[in-house]
């Protein structure tokens, strides 16, 4: 209606970036047979500029902190060939056991891949 993308869509873009990140990095499966994976415990989005429709977008994502069962996932939305973000976000992600309905330690194999890829200390 106003010629720009609604703010709720930004969170969907971040979700797409997060899913792509974990699919590429950890080859994570999804579906009813998955017994542990990630949940978002908290997310904060900072809106910096409007996205006018239509617009090609890129989502840059990274893990900035790795804890025992949680980590911080940071992201930003950009237009191609422009280093000024439209928005930034930080999410607290928790590795979660769906069968037992509680958090669990990040599996060591995933931890090793993330720390090597991101160059961070666990």
Q: Give the CATH number of the domain where residue 35 resides.
A: 3.10.129.10
Candidates 31, 32, 110; CA nearest to 70 is 110
Residue 97 lies in a domain: yes
Residue 108 lies in a domain: yes
Q: According to the model, what pLDDT value does residue 31 have?
A: 62
Tell me, what DSSP letter sits at residue 106?
Answer: P
> Model confidence over 27-65: pLDDT tens digits?
876 666 667 788 999 999 999 999 988 889 999 999 999
Instruction: Please state, for a pLDDT cut of 90, what percent of the chain lies above it.
Output: 70
C-alpha to C-alpha distance for 33 and 15, rounded to whole angstroms: 21
Residue 30 and residue 68 in contact, taking contact as beta carbons nearer than 8 Å: no
19: containing domain = 7-118
pTM of the model: 0.86
C-alpha to C-alpha distance for 118 and 66, rounded to whole angstroms: 10
């Amino acid at each position: 209606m106003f010629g720009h993308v609604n703010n709720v869509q930004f969170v969907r873009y971040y979700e797409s970036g997060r899913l792509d990140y974990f699919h590429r990095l950890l080859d994570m499966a999804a579906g009813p047979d998955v017994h542990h994976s990630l949940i978002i415990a908290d997310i904060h989005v900072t809106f910096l500029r409007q996205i006018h429709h239509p617009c090609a977008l890129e989502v840059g994502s990274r893990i900035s902190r790795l804890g025992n069962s949680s980590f911080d996932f940071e992201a930003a939305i950009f237009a191609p060939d422009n280093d000024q973000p439209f928005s930034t976000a930080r999410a607290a992600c928790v590795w979660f056991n769906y069968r037992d309905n509680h958090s669990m330690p990040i599996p060591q194999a995933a931890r090793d891949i993330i720390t090597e890829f991101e160059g961070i200390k666990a």
